[in-house]
Structure 1
Amino acid sequence: MTTDNKALVPVWTLATEAVTMADVLGDEGMTRARLAELRTVLAMLADSPIVTLEAHPLSKKSNRNGGIVLHAASPLAKQLSNLVTETAKSAPPTLNVAATGEVLYRMVVPAKVAAQVGKGLVNPMASKAVAGGVYSALRDSTGVVANATFVPVAGKAAVAGAATGSAATAGVAVASAGALTVAAPLVLMAIAVSASAYADHQRQKAIERITDLLEQLHDDNLDSERNELEACPDAIDKATSILLDQGRIGLSLGLDSSSHAISTAIAATRRRLKKWQAGLDSLPDGPVEVGALTKSFPGIDEEGGAFRAHLEIARLAIALKRRVLVLQAVEHAQQDTNNPFKSFIGSLRDDERGIDELESGISSVLLRLSTLELKRDGGFRIPAFTSGEVDHLLKAAYLLRALGDGINGGFQQADVAIEIERSGDGSLVVFPALAA
């Protein structure tokens, strides 16, 4: 994915506000482990969010899906180019940071900042290969991860530039020694696009599962719910493109009707969640009969039951709602020219609290279901179990255990990496956040 393991990799330290602190990075090269340690120190000592940005030359494009494409004239692309251009003169002579070509930018957001942005938006993507594992950024470039030398850039130069402004401002300000590069709009836009990509990735997974389930159920009401939600991404995608290009969202996009459909689905999910919680509370202590469980959770003992369809529709609605929240937060931040990043975080925190609680409630229900013990209907009786009863009971038990898989509540918030691929023509692809 990148060049050989002896490459020198430039790394910028970016702040969202003007802060002055000890020059912990220095001028010498460092290992990835050392960079991670220093990043932790910076996150702890600084009052404002601080991220690092690396630039790796690409030998070939990745085969990852789920990224959002931005053209060369987009604000994020301009900000990256401006950062490189303005800081080139302060780079060590061994680096050519202003070189054109294909580049993998890797912005690492400390866990402290990722938690502020939102647990449902900047999360490590769970790995299917290893239980409890997460994908690692740059996983196809072992040499660079292990042995590349990271060289600080822009630590001791004074460059004119706007430190604040709307998200459209390609503002970069590099102050004297001990101060960090101020690039609030760049950090804001990178996190916003990656968060939107992550939410859309969740949406696509939910749609795939819903389609499979509804083909088995033949439920017209659920089909209608799915169709209304699937009609929403078109307006959301258009609004995302317009906002990322600093445009104004008009009524002609249909975002209002899409937002209404999503809110309706969220309300239905909250109602179903209350029923699920009440159903769990009504179950007796100890082993539970399958029949008693299916009264509150129809089809839970089947791979294509109604409960699982309701669950996937809830996940789809939540994913779409998170994309809308990102749009609202970006729009709000663009109106605050003094500190767009703080405005973005504040808006997200206020709006996503209810969605976080809803998602947490669903996860709690799934966890409780996954730990239930089952017994056959009627308890112990003569004659003994038939082979059909045994198969059904085992299948139901396995399906219950599987409900606990993939619950994100067990992940401890970690540093996350936002990968941005830049093509030779200046266009970008921003991917969902990965574990750093």
Structure 2
Amino acid sequence: MAEVKDFTKYLKKLQKKNNDDRDDNPFEALNRDYDWDEDPDIAESGEYDGYPTKGPTYQERIRKHRIAVAIRTVVVIAATALIVAGVYVSWRDKHFTESNITSSVKIADASGAKAINLAGYVLTYSKDGASCIDSSGQQLWNQTYQMQNPTIHTCKDVVAIGDYNGHNIYVANTGGALGEIDTNLPIRDFCVASQGVVAAVLDDKNVTWIYLFDPSGKELASFKTTMQDSGYPVDISISPSGELVCVSYLKADSGKLKTSVAFFNFGDVGQNLADNYASGYDYPDVVVPYVQFMNDSKIFAVADDRLMFFSGKEVPTSQTESLTGDEEIKSVFYSDNYVGVVFVNNTDEGAYRLQIYGETGNLDTTIYFDTEYVDVLFDNGQIIVYGEDEYILYDMKGTEKFRGTFDRAVKVMVPTNVRSKFLLVTERSLDTLELK
């Protein structure tokens, strides 16, 4: 608080001056001449609340200042949001006009190997082993094995490598090996979750087992199936969390085929369910050879005449169905949020028709193209269709943004964090492609 005696001395002096001059009210002169901003302690002390003033009080000034600051803040936020929205729309709708190979590094001759995209890295594999390399071509790890026909399944940055009729499954991520699983029984099918949990279909004469293993090979759970009871497991998928397993069973029922899509919960909820069975749906006269988790709560299945979508993190329920009739489905692709189905089209519109569905099963986009494709990617709000010799970029509405050709045959096209930059895996090099 300011010294009251100094203020009083000032007040008396001011009063004497005003008596000699024109002003008979010392308090009016005080309000006019005294700089309250330089002495806020006096204004806040309450000692002189009763003094009449001509202008706003200190508290009113503070209130008006705060209102002004709030208004300016809102205006700045709104302007920033508009600028960001404008930049995003421009970025999203940008069309490219040219492409260049900005760098190229040699890699080991992969003429006898296959390659896939593993969370932005490149995984090459063959009958003799697998290795993972980064964008600079540096090998991160190498795993040797002997397999007749190695099969790869991935989830985010985790990969599981096994062989039909084999006994071993190797689990790794981009950082290195996570473990090896010895199933003891012949492998018929398997899949992997994001932390390395593997669900495997194993053959045991008249009984087919489904086991869950951790990456080191420890058995986590198991249940058996028979043709008489549930049917034969045609396909299997595990959720990224490793808690849900979806199985498509094919069974003969009264001389007719029937498929059952069943969900098993191995999380906390599943502990209270008989045999961990959460839910299931029957499809008479239908074959369902493919089931797949998009994320922890969205699942889709492909039948010979329809697509089925399911939803639920604990107990999945049927969501929607989209009939495909007798049309030939050539390929199925998916991401966390989209499912792409390529049909043989053979019309003037294009040799192929790509139908893109959202996670709820709604048909979002239809694209016609003629490219003899290797893969279809959903990445960074873009759809990339590419083959060994050419590629096409679309936005999510199906508008073509760029079409280009490769200088040499490309095995894998890998998106990067930059939507205009891609890694190209060829037989002997790893190239960086940039669009402008």
Structure-1-length-normalised TM-score: 0.21
Query: Greater strand share, 1 or 2?
Result: 2
Larger radius of gyration: 2
Greater percentage in helix: 1
1 or 2 for the larger relative contact order (CA 8 Å, sep ≥6)? 1
